[in-house]
Structure 1
Amino acid sequence: MNLPEPTIIEELSPERIYQEIKDIYASYNPDFKEIADLETTPEAKTFQAFSYREFHLRQRINDVFKSYLIEYAEGVTLHHLGAFYGLSPTTGESDERFKKRLKLAIAGRSAAGPKERYKALCLDADVRVRDVNVWSSALDPTVNIAVLSSDPGGIASQDLLDTVATYIDHPERRVTSDEFKVSSAVKKVVNVTLSVQLEEFARNSAGEELEANLRAAWDAEDLLGLDLTRAWLIRNAMGNGINNVKVEQPFADVVAEPNEAIGLGTINVIISGRGR
């Protein structure tokens, strides 16, 4: 969900704050109006200092406010937010993973569960669980759970699958009528070839940096059951010195099954020139 940056107090430019201070001062000191536009007077220097101090103070207030929202929280503040919902980070768990687990736990408490609840429980079960997909069909009410491991390759070991299955099947956690099938996710590797045009004055390294940027952006996604679309590749390749992208490979969108996680194989970047 793309939301605007949250603020608790309006952020004003130093110039606007400076002008407002001058206007207030001039309203009480009519003689000041004659020299109000001079920037070398003692009053101007004082007003400039106060305007920049207020500018940074407003930014700081908004930064502190944001730090108490889950999306922006980190460290101890995030742990306190988790404690409010009865959760705490596990050993070795990153802030981003704990944040993901916390959001799922909150969503799983609503009537929209238990899909989000079971995803949250699977992440609770073991820090090695990187991602989870939960689904069932009308013909078979069994709750299917695919586990993507944080281990290299993403394949969940039998030990990890057993840990997850035991944890979610506990009488205090499961819905009485649910039956589970816990299995490892399947990794599907897709090679990518992009033809890109650099901006007129872009660094020569812009094309070389694209591969690392694409891999980082894809790894940040919830990969299980996520299709790799040509539109995603174009959207995430644009910018940072690149102004046009043509996807040479894959030739069509790659569809992922619910238990599949697509991995990026080789990424071949072809520089087709420069332009505006």
Structure 2
Amino acid sequence: MSTAIELAKLPPPQVIEALSYEEIYQQIEQALLEKIPDSSLLASDPAIKLLEIAAYRELLLRQRINDAAKSVMLAFARGNDLDHLGALFGIGRDDDEEDERYRQRIPMSLESYSMAGTRGAYEFHTFSASHLVHDVYVDSEQPGRVNVYALLDTMSEAQANEVKGEIEAQLNDEDIRPITDEVVVNWVMPTLVPLSAQVYLNVGANKAQVELAIMQALDTFILNHFKLGAEVPHSGIIDALHQPGVRKVKLLTPTEDLQPEVNQAFRLTLDLVFPEEA
């Protein structure tokens, strides 16, 4: 198996501070009263506004410090910050490669310093063969035979075979494939599963805003679970649908958790309706 650290399983970094405007305000107010103990602050006192401004600016400053700390951590960095971390590993971003895919490849690259003998090395070199590879699963049912499954997004068979050829060329390079290995590359298309639901809104809710929030949550959920062997939990779909402004959800399909095989992936297709009543 790959020895790359799963970033999602790392404990929360201690340098990241939990922020509360109310706590910061109370701390500043207490510090002020300690300096002028004989004074009392009334709601109409102009000093209250100064305290609120000071507390808000300190909140922004602390959030900026949190963001700066995250920008140098592989698990949290984004955009150009992630590019600079990748440069430390000698791994550049592929054209149009999204942050999460790039983040996955960076620690995996450590296994590429040897030939593609380990599972992680085969995974890394498969990812590197084409930016159209979304996920990789590698196994070996018998000595010397390596099966590589590359998850591709919905495309024609001709396009899929073209990507497969790029992967085969990469993995069979004499500097990558051990001479004793036979590499068999398979492309995998996602199994499409309809997500059909009735979403009921609260009275007065802005339908456009609620629908946008739901679509953004579902896009993130689908992307996070569009992986080989990744379970798609029924409860997670309902959570994504229950955005502010939603009164209730009737999830018609799927009716239970989706559990693919290790070389299979599910992709949800959306069919949402927003009934006016009930």
1:135 to 113, 136, 139: 139
| Distance in 2 separating the partners of 1:82 and 1:170 | 24
| Distance in 2 separating the partners of 1:270 and 1:13 | 36
Structure of larger gyration radius: 1
**Structure 2 residue 176 is matched with structure 1 residue 173:** yes
**How far 1:12 moved relative to its partner?**
5.2
**How far 1:82 moved relative to its partner?**
1.0
Q: Is the 8 A contact 2:214 2:240 kept in 1?
A: no
**Structure 2 residue 166 is matched with structure 1 residue 163:** yes
Q: TM-score, normalised by structure 2?
A: 0.74
**How far 1:67 moved relative to its partner?**
1.1
**How far 1:215 moved relative to its partner?**
4.9
Q: After superposing the two structures, state which structure 1 stretch, 254-263 or 68-77, moved more.
A: 254-263
SS at match of 2:176: coil
Cα deviation, 1:194-215, whole Å, max 9, x if unaligned, reads 3444445544454697567535
Aligned twin of 2:15: 8
- In structure 1, stretches of 5+ residues that fail to align are none
| Distance in 1 separating the partners of 2:30 and 2:256 | 62
Q: After superposing the two structures, state which structure 1 stretch, 52-61 or 8-17, moved more.
A: 8-17
| Distance in 1 separating the partners of 2:32 and 2:276 | 59
**How far 1:81 moved relative to its partner?**
0.9
Instruction: Summarize the alignment of residues 113-124 of structure 1 with structure 2, pairs less than 5 Å apart.
Output: 114-124=118-128
Aligned twin of 2:185: 182
- In structure 2, stretches of 5+ residues that fail to align are 1-7
Aligned twin of 1:194: 197
Q: Aligned pair in 2 of structure 1 residues 71, 33: CA closer, same or farther (>3 Å)?
A: same
**How far 1:23 moved relative to its partner?**
4.2
| Distance in 2 separating the partners of 1:140 and 1:192 | 41
Aligned twin of 2:5: none
Aligned twin of 2:109: 105
Aligned twin of 2:4: none
Aligned twin of 1:148: 151
Q: Aligned pair in 2 of structure 1 residues 238, 48: CA closer, same or farther (>3 Å)?
A: closer
**How far 1:95 moved relative to its partner?**
2.8
Q: After superposing the two structures, state which structure 1 stretch, 189-198 or 121-130, moved more.
A: 189-198
Amino acid of the structure 1 residue aligned with 2:61: L
| Distance in 2 separating the partners of 1:154 and 1:7 | 48
